[in-house]
Structures are given as C-alpha cells and as structure tokens.
C-alpha cells in the first residue's frame, strides 16, 4: 500500500544524521577543523613557552638564530616561534605577543636570523584563505538548503494501494457517493459524452476513527490510482514560503503520476479561516492550496481528498464548489454498520460462535467508531492469547469492550471497607432507578470493580440505535444519574464526592434540554438568562427528588442488591432480576416532546 507519512522532509532529510548529505557536511567541517589545527599548532610541537621579556632580551643579545613571525587574527598580535643559542646547543621557543614595529625590524636586520615577514608565507596565506573558504562553504550550504527546502525522497511512487471498498464497512452512503468518482477515473469518456467533469476535491467530514483515511485509500485502490498522503501539519513551518512550496511540489508530483489521489488528513490544520488566523506562513500555505486546486484541469485525473472533524474551521474559499465539490459525511456507524465492521475486522480471528457473539457486541457498542471496534477485537485477541485459549470467547469480547469504553479494571486498587460499601449502595441506587423506568434501555450489568476513573459502573444495553430522543426519555436519564446520590442520602444521610461525574453529566444534559433543544417552558436565546438557569436547576431538583423517592420506596431491594454486589462484585441483568424476583421490563410509552440527536 503506498502512502508517505511525514511528507516533504527535504530539509529534515538533509539534516538527518543518517543521511549521506549530512555525513558529507560533517566530514567537510571536520577536515577544515583538522587542517586549521594542524596549521596553527604544528609549529608548537616540542617548543617551550617563553615570556615577552625573555624575547626582548634574546633580541638584544643576538641569541636568536631562527625565527618565524606570523600575524594572528588579532591586530598587532603575532605568533613568534624559532630557535635560540643556549651555550653549545639550540633550544626551540614559542610565544604569542604584541610586537612593535621596531622589534620586528630588529629581528629582520639581524643577518643571522631567518625570519618570515608578516603577511607572507603559507601560514599567512592560509589565514587569508580560510575565512574565504568557510564563507563560501556557508553560502553553498544555504543555497542548497533553500533549493531543497520542501523536497524529499517521500515524493517517490512505490506502489498503488491494495485497499478496496470491500475492506471499508459501516459507511455505505459515503462509499456510494465516492464510487461515482472512482467510475469517472476508470471511464472518463462515458461522462465526457454528457459534458460531465471530474470533481476536483472530496471533503470527508466525520468524527475521529470513522474510516476517512481508509475510505480515501479505497478510492485510490478501486480507481487503480497512485496515492499521495500527507497530514495538514506537514505543511506548517517556521519559515514563510516553505509550506507553499511543499504544496506546489505535491501537486507537481501528482501530475507526473496521474491518475492520482492526493489525500490530506486533518486539513483544518492547513486550510483554516484566514481572518481567524494571523499567521502569515499558514495564510501563504492556504493560498497556495487554493491556487493549486484551481490550477489543474478536471481532465488531468487528479482528485484531492481531504479529511476533517472540524469543518467549521475551514476557509470558505476552500469549501466552495470547484475546489471541494463533494462534502461526504462519514459518521459513527449504526448497529448494522457496526456488525459489518466487526465482520470485516474478525475475518482472521477464531471467535467462538462468531455470528451470535459479533451481533451481541454490535448491539452493545453504540456510539463507538470503527477504530474503537477494531481495538476491541484486538484487545480480546490479546486477552485470549494470554489465557492460552484456542478461541476468543464472549467473556473476552465483553472485557475488551469495557476496557476500550471505560478503561482497564483496577483490581489492584484497595478501598476501605466503608468506601467499598458506599460504592455498592451508590451503584445499587442507579440500578434500582433504572429498573423502575419504562423508556430507558434495559440494564446490562452492574459492577463495583474500579475501572478507569470510575469506582463502579452501571451499564445499560440499548436494543436499537436512537436518533430522536423524547423529553420523557431524557428526564428518565436524569433520574438514573441522580440514583447513586439518592442512595447515599437514604442509607448514609449525606452525599459523597462519588457523584461528581453523575452531576456533571446531569448538568450538561439539563443545559442542552433548555438551551439547545427547547424543552423548557420558554425558549431562551441567551445562555446566561436567569430564567433559563432557574429551569435547569428545577429539572435537576425534580430528578433528584424522584430518584430519592424511588430508592426510599425500594430501600429493601436496594440494600439487598448492595449486599449482593459486595459479595459478587459484578451482577448481570438476569442475576439482578432473579435477586429482586422481577421477570419483565415494561414497554415504552409514546410522547410527543422529542429532540433530534
């Protein structure tokens, strides 16, 4: 499958310690340093350091028989090295000092002294040449850096994706919409007869994990087109103009390898609204993308596919027809879609009673994405392997689902006896209120084993997906959320901080009812309207009172359930109903107040 993540890494490739260019640069720099070291220090080997006073004394005594005077990089400072007479032998000396013109002249006039005149000789020439060489090398490096900025080996085409539409499940409507583009790439003549033009761009909109990238690969695979993949952040750089150049390079490579699919993930990092973003580099890169999508003809066989979960952040100019002609919603799968995704992901997994197990799993994973479902099956496979099973059983699937949704069980967490009892009564309160409701999904299981940030969980299992929620349905949800707090008040006469998450969820739900769904006595257009806040508080207080009355009425059953939880830690719906001698779940009523999801 062809894709290049972290595209356009020319500069990074050049500076990569593993790259050939970087090694050449390092070797050249090391050679220059070694040469400079050899030139400036070769004459000092075997020499002794002397003082300026000693040098002046030797000059007056004509004791110096050989001397080299070489200027340093500092004005008036010279490196003096040579030999002097010391009885019957000669001794080498060296020092760096300030020399007056008279002192240099005295050395020069001494006929017995071999002297290198300042500014002459190989060492003096090197002092002049080395800065020029270093400056030239720096200019060459900067020129190479500029020319290769935005380029990289990742532009090379390796192979076309092998992903097909059969590998993408749970998004039938999205597949149907993009299938037209695939057919156009395969049979352009059929559409040109009617004057049809290939869409330039397809914008995939949906939550994370719903399969947008997989769908883009499937488009390229079905159309037998080359696939270029990049992330929106790949075009963001500190230097102005780099991102724009990378955009141009991407489209240039796509034209050379048409038919091609250019996929830009998280395009909102690249195509933000220009008014809202004052970053000149991002604006220039955005302008380059706009110009590039206008700069190729529909007949070139290039389609830009972009993905985002924040379409409201995209620039209006990028969203107009002629650039992104198609906006395709890739939403969370429904129950049928989840079953299809699980079937695709479970092809090579040995699952016990596969059809029934996957059907139950699809039913109990509402609001989970395709990526979540794949993670559940993978976690179940790992658990089964650790237990040395030959097949994946429903127990592992349920444990994996709970782990992905709420986090791993914290079996090592030790609660004090009193705290554990409080958790049991809290979860029993949620359960008792749920069993007394008629519209909510039925109870699935209740547990006091800590998981994630929760010390206990009460799980309901929807029998079908809901898109429209009645007001009475939401009011029952509020009551169930208050059930744990109500049980604390009934059995302990006070509340604990264990209801923190329940209260936050209840407050958010009540706010949505009043501010966004129009379920209050009036319609409010101001978020902080005092009457609206009063209605929100009234909803919460009514739910709290209703839950308290129910738990108080069912105090004996609540106590019985809490004690069973302390003994068994986890109870299924069947075990709870057997304990409470219940045998049916009431049928739902129909009311007219509702809200669109």
The residues near 567 (Cβ < 8 Å, ≥ 6 apart) are: none
CA 527, 531, 537, 538: dihedral to nearest 10 degrees? Answer: -140
Buried b (16+ CB within 10 A) or exposed e, 498-535: bbeebbeebbebbbebbbebebbeeebeeeeeeebeeb
Characterise 47 by phi-psi region: left (phi > 0), alpha (psi -120 to 50), beta (else). beta
Three-state SS letters, 484-527? HHHHHHHHHCCCCHHHHHHHHHHHHHHHHHHHHCCCCCCCCCCC
Alpha carbon distances (Å) from 164 to 161, 167, 171: 8, 5, 13
At 75, give phi and psi (nearest 5°): -60, 130
Report the alpha-carbon distance of residue 469 to residue 557 in Å, rounded. 30
The two structure tokens encoding residue 362: 């699809």
Considering the candidates 13, 249, 281, 427, report the single residue annotated as catalytic: 427
50 three-class SS: coil
**Residue 88, both tokens:** 């019957």
The dihedral sign for the CA sequence 199, 200, 205, 208: positive
Alpha carbons 146 and 25: distance in angstroms, whole number: 16
Instruction: Please tell me the distance from the alpha carbon of residue 116 to that of residue 80, in angstroms, as a whole number.
Output: 10
| Calpha distance 285→248 (Å, rounded) | 10
Rounded Cα distance between 232 and 349, Å, is 35
Assess contact for 303 and 204: CB atoms under 8 A: no
Residues 387-394: contacts with CB within 8 Å, 24+ apart? Answer: 390/350, 391/350, 391/351, 391/352, 392/349, 392/350, 392/351, 392/352, 392/357, 393/352, 393/357, 394/352, 394/353, 394/357, 394/360
CB 225 within 8 A of CB 158: no
Q: What is the phi-psi region of residue 73: left when phi exceeds 0, alpha when psi lies from -120 to 50, beta otherwise? A: alpha
Instruction: Identify whether the C-beta of residue 281 lies closer than 8 Å to the C-beta of residue 240.
Output: yes
Q: What is the DSSP string of 545-588?
A: HHHHHHHHHTHHHHHHHHHHHHHHSEEEHHHHHHHHT----PPP
| DSSP code, position 271 | S
SS3 409: strand
Q: Alpha-carbon distance 110 to 422, whole Å?
A: 105
**Hey, how many other C-beta atoms are within 10 angstroms of the C-beta on 303?**
30
Respond yes or no: is residue 427 known to be catalytic. yes
Specify the pairing of strand 443-447 against strand 326-329: unpaired
Nearest CA-CA partner of 72 in 92, 43, 112: 43
> Which residues belong to the active site?
427
């Amino acid at each position: 499958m062809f894709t290049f993540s972290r595209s356009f890494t020319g500069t990074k490739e050049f500076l990569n310690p593993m790259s050939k260019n970087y090694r050449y640069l390092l070797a050249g720099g090391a050679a220059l340093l070694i040469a400079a070291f050899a030139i400036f220090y070769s004459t000092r080997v075997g020499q002794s350091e002397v003082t300026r006073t000693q040098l002046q004394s030797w000059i007056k005594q004509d004791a110096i028989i050989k001397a080299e005077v070489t200027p340093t990089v500092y004005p008036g400072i010279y490196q003096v090295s040579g030999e002097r007479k010391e009885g019957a032998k000669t001794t080498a000396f060296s020092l760096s000092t300030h020399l007056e013109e008279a002192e240099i002249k005295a050395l020069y006039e001494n006929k017995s002294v071999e002297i290198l005149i300042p500014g002459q000789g190989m060492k003096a020439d090197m002092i002049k040449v080395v800065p020029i060489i270093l400056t030239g090398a720096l200019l060459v490096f900067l020129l190479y850096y500029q020319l290769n900025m935005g380029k990289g080996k990742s532009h090379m085409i390796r192979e076309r994706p092998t992903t097909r539409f059969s590998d993408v499940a749970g998004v039938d409507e999205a597949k149907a919409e993009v299938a037209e583009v695939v057919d156009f790439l395969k049979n352009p003549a059929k559409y040109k007869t009617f004057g049809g033009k290939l869409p330039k761009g397809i914008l995939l909109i949906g939550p994370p994990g719903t399969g947008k990238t997989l769908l883009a690969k499937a488009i390229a695979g079905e159309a037998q087109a080359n696939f270029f993949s990049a992330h929106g952040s790949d075009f963001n750089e500190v230097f102005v103009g780099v991102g724009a150049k990378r955009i141009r390079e991407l489209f240039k490579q796509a034209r050379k390898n048409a038919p091609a699919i250019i996929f830009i993930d998280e395009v909102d990092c690249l195509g933000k609204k220009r008014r809202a973003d004052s970053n000149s580099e991002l604006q220039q890169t955005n302008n380059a993308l706009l110009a590039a999508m206008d700069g190729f003809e529909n007949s070139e066989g290039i389609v830009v596919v972009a993905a985002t979960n924040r379409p409201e952040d995209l620039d209006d100019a990028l969203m107009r027809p002629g650039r992104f002609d198609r906006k395709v919603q890739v939403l969370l799968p429904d129950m049928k879609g989840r079953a299809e995704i699980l079937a695709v992901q479970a092809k090579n997994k040995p699952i016990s009673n596969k059809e029934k197990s996957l059907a139950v799993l699809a039913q109990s994973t509402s609001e989970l994405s395709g990526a979540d479902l794949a993670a559940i099956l993978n976690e179940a496979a790992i658990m089964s392997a650790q237990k040395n099973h030959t097949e994946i059983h429903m127990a592992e699937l349920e444990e994996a689902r709970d782990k992905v949704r709420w986090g791993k069980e914290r079996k090592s967490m030790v609660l004090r006896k009193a705290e554990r009892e409080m958790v049991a009564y809290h979860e029993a309160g949620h359960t008792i209120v749920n069993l007394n409701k008629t519209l909510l999904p039925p109870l699935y299981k209740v547990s006091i084993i800590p998981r994630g940030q929760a010390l206990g969980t009460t799980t309901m299992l929807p029998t079908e997906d809901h898109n429209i929620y009645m007001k009475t349905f939401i009011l029952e949800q509020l009551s169930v959320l208050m059930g744990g707090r109500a049980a604390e008040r009934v059995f302990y006469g006070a509340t604990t901080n264990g209801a923190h998450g329940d209260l936050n969820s209840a407050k958010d739900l009540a706010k949505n009812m009043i501010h966004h769904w129009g379920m209050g006595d009036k319609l409010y257009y101001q978020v902080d309207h005092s009457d609206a806040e009063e209605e929100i508080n009234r909803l919460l207080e009514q739910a709290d009172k209703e839950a308290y009355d129910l738990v108080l009425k069912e105090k004996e059953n609540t106590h019985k359930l809490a004690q069973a939880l302390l003994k068994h830690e986890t109870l299924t719906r069947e075990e709870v109903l057997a304990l409470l001698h219940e045998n049916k779940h009431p049928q739902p009523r129909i009311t007219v107040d509702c809200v669109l999801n």
